[in-house]
Amino acid sequence: MKTKKGKRVIPGFGLSMGITLSFLSLLVLIPFASIVFSASSLGFQGFIETVTSKRVLAGYKVSFLCALIATLFNSVFGVILSWVLVRYEFPYKRVADGLIELPFALPTAVAGISLTALYSDQGWLGRFFSKAGIKITYTQIGIIVAMIFITIPFVVRAIQPVLEKIDGQYEEAASMLGAKRSTIFLKVILPEILPALLTGSGLAFARALGEYGSVVFIAGNTPFKTEIAPLLIMSKLQQYDYSGATAIALVMLIVSFIILLIINAIQMFSSKFTRE
């Protein structure tokens, strides 16, 4: 952070770095350390027994599986939504673009109640699925629907700025050379938006994995079927089993970090490949 003459580029760098590290410690490092410390009070044997019980493992499976499916869904339709909002002009486009932010502004409990009422067997949309023999509320499908609703803005808002900056001349050149639309997307557009897509998908997965308010109402919370891991943590806390709650949270934290590190590694590799 110094020039050749030894002068700092950023005035007050030491002070600003100290403040940054202090806030990082207070908001991130210390809470994470407290989770590890609290979970360690169980001992190794107690920790393993807590996080590998059948009910907890079922909760992990429901949370990770539903979060993964919701993320994959948003990865596809998030690109489509971003493409439409960037490349096409239509009436009330600004309104549609603003509605993408609705899951951010809406309280998660309100979202959960609204989705439950909408997709119940007697709801506006649920009645049509019910006639077809598809039950959404109180099933894993309902959990996925809630996760999709909550996390779609992460993907759309990550891809939109990249699409806006892509020069249309590259697409025109590819088209003049005889490339098909599918080839243009796969060879020209996708490599440009891939790092943003991975970033948005990673954030969406992390949010879906820890989502509680919007999921708990539509899930039904049936043990071994629709019980998510965050609900198990809340149940432990209500029983004053703080060590058990932090043990479950620690496993989710570790797995989430591993997945995010993998996504970031893929993102760095794809960015390097694109530049070359």
What pLDDT shows up at residue 261? Answer: 83
Q: Are residues 24 and 93 in the same domain?
A: no
Q: Tell me the C-alpha distance between 138 and 131, whole Å.
A: 17
What pLDDT shows up at residue 70? Answer: 95
Q: Are residues 68 and 134 in the same domain?
A: yes
- Residue 103: which of 69, 152, 62, 53 has the closest Cα? 152
- Residue 248: which of 227, 220, 263 has the closest Cα? 227
- Residue 59: which of 244, 233, 205, 218 has the closest Cα? 233
Burial of 176 (0-12, 13-18, 19+ CB in 10 A): exposed
Q: Is the pLDDT of residue 255 over 90?
A: no
pTM of structure: 0.85
Please indicate, yes or no, if residue 91 is contained in any of the structural domains.
yes
What pLDDT shows up at residue 273? Answer: 59
Mean pLDDT of all residues in 222-230:
91
Q: Is the pLDDT of residue 5 over 70?
A: no
Query: How many independent structural domains does the chain possess?
Result: 2
What pLDDT shows up at residue 55? Answer: 92
Full residue range of the structural domain in which residue 161 is found: 43-275
Q: Are residues 230 and 129 in the same domain?
A: yes
Q: Are residues 26 and 73 in the same domain?
A: no
What pLDDT shows up at residue 66? Answer: 95
Q: Are residues 32 and 144 in the same domain?
A: no
Q: Do the beta carbons of residue 185 and residue 163 sit within 8 Å?
A: no
Structure confidence by residue, pLDDT tens digits, 67-76: 999 999 999 9
Q: Are residues 184 and 256 in the same domain?
A: yes
